[in-house]
Each structure stands twice: as structure tokens, then as C-alpha cells.
């Protein structure tokens, strides 16, 4: 999928001097190429206004993967492509190195870069007859215990088919993009980003009573909270949390529309896996 870029929104990492300076430089660079732009700092009222009111053809994030994720959640299902200039440490999602942005951005303007649709996640928490939380995630939703070192009990089902009551420290429900994050650290599978699927990975399942699963995107994973004696949280991309209560029902499936990410031919998924040690070549 290709897009003509006439209007751009630049979002910089909060309180990051270098990102702010690069943002101003980029505004001038785009203006010289007849591309109108606005710039704002992430997590500010100005970004909230721009997010709701401004129509743009591309959102460019200057920061690390955490900044990109916080911006990405607001673009799920909106048909607005997203690309990141990596000014953080990992940069698995932020595709453009901070010292090589000009060539990459020119390729986008020239229509040489494809924007690929990626699966994102949608979640609701139902308490009795009321939905007490509704949200989306670009990477993952995590159900996990609080400070006390006690396993939690969850009654699991997929598409209404019972999987039984499982005891564990929690569960990670990850999109393909999120499979290289917390999920793989807990023993979850790598899921190629082109797949219309998501993974469910237990965190220290009691007696290995549940193994990681990959589910079709349209299937609904449900976890009903059975635990009575410990705190339990639902976290959204590791950045926002909801305190769950006994008998709450967490339901997760793919989000309609997903996310559009830039993909550069010379930075393939497999190359990134090799560079970041997810796959090790023989010595």
C-alpha cells in the first residue's frame, strides 16, 4: 500500500531535547518539498488536539519504541501510516536510524516505501453487565499479578470453548509486532508481522498446565478472573494499567483496521531478528 504525502504530523519524545531539535529540522526539510507539517511533543494537550482534529497522511515519531507505541495506539484503525525515527535504545519498531533519516524519508515521499497493515489488539473488561474498560494495543495486553508472589487463577476460553481454569503468574496476549517483546522473554513464539494472528503466552504456568498458542486474528480469547486473594492487573502495551476484580471477564481479539507501518526493503524482518539476537547464526 502506497500513500501520497501532502500533510505530516511529527510527534517528538517527551522532554527530549535532541528529538525536539530534529523535529524542527524536519519541518523545514518537508516544507522545502511542499509538504505541510505540524509538530508536537508526545503526551501533551497539544498532541491530544492534533490527534483528534488534524488530518494527515503520515505520522512521524521521533523517539524510541516506547514513544512509538504510545502514539500507535491512537492510530489503530485510522488508515494513517506510522513511521519512527529511532532515538532510543532498541528501535525494533522505529524503522529509521536517526543518522540516516533523509534518504529514508525521501523514499517515502517518492512513493518507494510500502506501508504494510499489521494486526493490533482490542480488549474489553466486563464487570457484571457493564463494560468497565475498552481499549486497543499495538504490542500486547498483559494480565499479571501485583506485588505478592502468588499465582492467579483464570478461567480461559477461545470463541466460547472452555480451556479450563489455569493457574499462573499471568498471561501475555501479543500481536505479531509484540511477539518480539515481553512475550518471547516468557517463552512465547515469534509470529511473522504479516500474519493475521496473535499469540497467548502464559507467565510461569503452574505445572506447565498451558503452553503458548497462536490464534487466528478473528478468534476471541477470554479470561475470567477467579482469584480472590491477590491483586491482578491488565496492562496495555506496558504503559497503562487497569486493576481487575474477581469475576471480571477480559476479552481480547484483533482490532478492526489494524495499523499501517512503513517497511523498508533493506531492513527486513529476518535481518532485524538476526541483528537483535532473536536468531543466532552458527559460530
Start-to-end CA span in the chain (Å): 39
Q: How far is the C-alpha of 38 from the C-alpha of 50, rounded, in Å?
A: 8
Burial class, 231, CB count within 10 angstroms (exposed 0-12 / middle 13-18 / buried 19+): middle
Q: Which of 65, 110, 248, 266 is catalytic?
A: 65
Q: How far is the C-alpha of 261 from the C-alpha of 31, rounded, in Å?
A: 23
Helix (H) or strand (E) holding 97: strand 96-97
Task: Provide the CA 115 distance to its chain's centre, in angstroms.
Answer: 16
Q: Binding site: residue ranges?
A: 65-66, 139-140, 150, 167, 169, 180-185, 239
Please indicate whether residue 229 is annotated as part of the active site.
no
Q: Binding site for NAD(+): residue ranges?
A: 65-66, 139-140, 150, 167, 169, 180-185, 239
The SS3 assignment for 79 reads coil
Residue of 80, 64, 83, 63 lying closest to 23 (CA atoms): 63
Q: How far is the C-alpha of 159 from the C-alpha of 222, rounded, in Å?
A: 8
Q: HSE (CB half, 13 Å, CA atoms) of 173?
A: 30
| Residues with catalytic function | 65
Amino acid at each position: 500500500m502506497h500513500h501520497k504525502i501532502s500533510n505530516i504530523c511529527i510527534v517528538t519524545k517527551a522532554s527530549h531535547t535532541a528529538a525536539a531539535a530534529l523535529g524542527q529540522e524536519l519541518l523545514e526539510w518537508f516544507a522545502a518539498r511542499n509538504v505541510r507539517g505540524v509538530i508536537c511533543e508526545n503526551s501533551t494537550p497539544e498532541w491530544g488536539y492534533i490527534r483528534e482534529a488534524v488530518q494527515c497522511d503520515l505520522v512521524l515519531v521521533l523517539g524510541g519504541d516506547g514513544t512509538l507505541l504510545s502514539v500507535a495506539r491512537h492510530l489503530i484503525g485510522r488508515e494513517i501510516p506510522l513511521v519512527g525515527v529511532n532515538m532510543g535504545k532498541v528501535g525494533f519498531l522505529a524503522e529509521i536510524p536517526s543518522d540516516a533519516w533523509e534518504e529514508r524519508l525521501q523514499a517515502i515521499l517518492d512513493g518507494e516505501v510500502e506501508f504494510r497493515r499489521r494486526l493490533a489488539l482490542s480488549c474489553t473488561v466486563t464487570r457484571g453487565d457493564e463494560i468497565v474498560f475498552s481499549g486497543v494495543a499495538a504490542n500486547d495486553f498483559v494480565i499479571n499479578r501485583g506485588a505478592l508472589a502468588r499465582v492467579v487463577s483464570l478461567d480461559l476460553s477461545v470463541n466460547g470453548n472452555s480451556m479450563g481454569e489455569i493457574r499462573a503468574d499471568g498471561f501475555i496476549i501479543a500481536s505479531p509486532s509484540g511477539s518480539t517483546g515481553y512475550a518471547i522473554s516468557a517463552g512465547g513464539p515469534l509470529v511473522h508481522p504479516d500474519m493475521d494472528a496473535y499469540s497467548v503466552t502464559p507467565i510461569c504456568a503452574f505445572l506447565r498446565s498451558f503452553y503458548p498458542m497462536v490464534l487466528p486474528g478473528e478468534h476471541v480469547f477470554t479470561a475470567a478472573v477467579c482469584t480472590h486473594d491477590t491483586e491482578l492487573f491488565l496492562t496495555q502495551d506496558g504503559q497503562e494499567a487497569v486493576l481487575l476484580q474477581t469475576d471480571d471477564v477480559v476479552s481480547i481479539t484483533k482490532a478492526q483496521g489494524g495499523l499501517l507501518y512503513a517497511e523498508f526493503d533493506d531492513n527486513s524482518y529476518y535481518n532485524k531478528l538476526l541483528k537483535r539476537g532473536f536468531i543466532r547464526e552458527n559460530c
